[in-house]
Amino acid sequence: MQMLADKRVLVLGLGISGRSAARFCADRGARVVAADEGLPDVTTPTPGVEFVLGRDFPDAADFDLVVPSPGVPPECYRQNARRVWGDIELAWRALQIPIVAVTGTNGKSTVTRMIEAALFASGFRARAAGNVGKPALDLVGDALDVAILEVSSFQLETTESFRPAVAVVLNVTPDHLDRHGSFEAYREAKARILANQGAGDTALIASDDREARGLARRARGRVVPFSATGPAPGGAWLDGEEAVLDTEAGAPIRIPLETHLPGRHNRENALAALAAAHAAGAAPERAAAGIAAFAGLPHRMEAVGCVAGVSYVNDSKATNPSAALRALDAVETPIIWIAGGRGKGLDFSALAHTARERVRAAVLVGEATEALKNALGESLSTYAAATLEEAVRHAASLAQPGDVVLLAPACASQDQFRDYQERGECFRTAVHALGGTVQ
Give the chain as a 3 state SS string.
CHHHCCCEEEEECCCHHHHHHHHHHHHCCCEEEEEECCCCCCCCCCCCEEEEECCCCCCHHHCCEEEECCCCCHHHCCCCCCCECCHHHHHHHHCCCCEEEEECCCCHHHHHHHHHHHHHHCCCCEEEEECCCCCHHHHCCCCCCEEEEECCHHHHCCCCCCCCCEEEECCCCCCCHHHHCCHHHHHHHHHCCCCCCCCCCEEEEECCCHHHHHHHHHCCCEEEEEECCCCCCCCEEEECCEEEECCCCCCCEEEECCCCCCCHHHHHHHHHHHHHHHHCCCCHHHHHHHHHHCCCCCCCCEEEEEECCEEEEECCCCCCHHHHHHHHHHCCCCEEEEECCECCCCCCCCHHHHHHHHEEEEEEECCCHHHHHHHHCCCCCEEEECCHHHHHHHHHHHCCCCCEEEECCCCECCCCCCCHHHHHHHHHHHHHHCCCEEC
Do residues 352 and 404 both lie within one domain?
A: yes
**Same domain for 70 and 125?**
no
Q: Are residues 430 and 330 in the same domain?
A: yes
The verdict on 209 and 321 lying in the same domain is no
Q: Which of 7, 80, 106, 131 is catalytic?
A: 131
| Residues 200 and 64 grouped into a single domain | no
Task: Tell me what pLDDT residue 42 has.
Answer: 80
Domain of residue 13, residue span? 7-84
Residue-wise pLDDT tens for the chain (439 aa)?
Answer: 788 999 999 999 999 999 999 999 999 999 999 999 998 888 777 899 999 999 999 999 999 999 999 999 999 999 999 999 999 999 999 999 999 999 999 999 999 999 999 999 999 999 999 999 899 999 999 999 999 999 999 999 999 999 999 999 999 999 999 999 999 999 999 999 999 999 999 999 999 999 999 999 999 999 999 999 999 999 999 999 999 999 877 789 999 999 999 999 999 999 999 999 999 999 999 999 999 999 999 999 999 999 999 999 999 999 999 999 999 999 999 999 999 999 998 999 999 999 999 999 999 999 999 999 999 998 899 999 999 999 999 999 999 999 999 999 999 999 999 999 999 999 999 999 998 777 7
Q: What local confidence, expressed as pLDDT, does residue 266 receive?
A: 97
* Residue 17 and residue 48 in one domain: yes
Q: What is the CATH number of the domain that holds 50?
A: 3.40.50.720
Same domain? For 173 and 232 the reply is yes
pLDDT value at residue 121: 98
- 420 in any annotated domain: yes
Per-residue pLDDT at 351? 95
Task: For 30, list phi and psi in degrees, rounded to 5.
Answer: -80, 155
The pLDDT value given to residue 137:
98
b (16+ CB within 10 A) / e for 397-409: ebbeeebbbbbbb
> Which of 108, 190, 278, 299 is the catalytic position?
108
* Per-residue confidence (pLDDT) for residue 360, from 0 to 100: 96
Please check whether residues 98 and 216 belong to one and the same domain: yes
Q: Is residue 1 part of a domain?
A: no
Q: Do 255 and 174 share a domain, yes or no?
A: yes
Catalytic residue list contains 176:
yes
pLDDT given at position 39: 87
Asked whether residue 250 is domain-assigned, the answer is yes
Among residues 46, 67, 84, the one where a domain terminates is 84
- Give 425's contacts (C-beta < 8 A, 6+ positions apart): none
CATH assignment of the domain containing 380: 3.90.190.20
Residues 173/344, Cβ–Cβ less than 8 Å:
no
| End position of a domain, from candidates 53, 84, 115 | 84
- On whether residue 2 sits in a domain, the answer given is no
Which pLDDT does position 347 carry in this prediction? 94
129 and 267, same domain (yes or no): yes
Integer Cα distance of 126 and 14 in angstroms? 27
User: Is the pTM for the entire model greater than 0.85?
Assistant: yes
Residue 101: inside a domain: yes
Domain boundary among 84, 115, 145: 84
Tell whether 357 and 395 lie within a shared domain: yes
CATH of the domain at 248: 3.40.1190.10
- Contacts of residue 70, Cβ cutoff 8 Å, sequence gap at least 6: 13, 17, 86, 131, 152, 154, 155, 158
131 is catalytic: yes
The reply to whether 439 falls in a domain is no
The residue from 171, 176, 314, 373 that is catalytic is 176
Same domain, 316 and 259: no
The count of other CB atoms within 10 Å of the CB of residue 1 is 15
Let me know if 80 is a catalytic residue. Answer: no
Domain count, the chain: 3
The answer to whether position 425 is within a domain reads yes
Task: Tell me the C-alpha distance between 368 and 341, whole Å.
Answer: 6
Q: Is 79 left (phi over 0), alpha (psi -120 to 50) or beta?
A: alpha
Classify residue 271: in a domain, yes or no.
yes
Cα 21 to Cα 68: distance, rounded to the nearest angstrom = 9
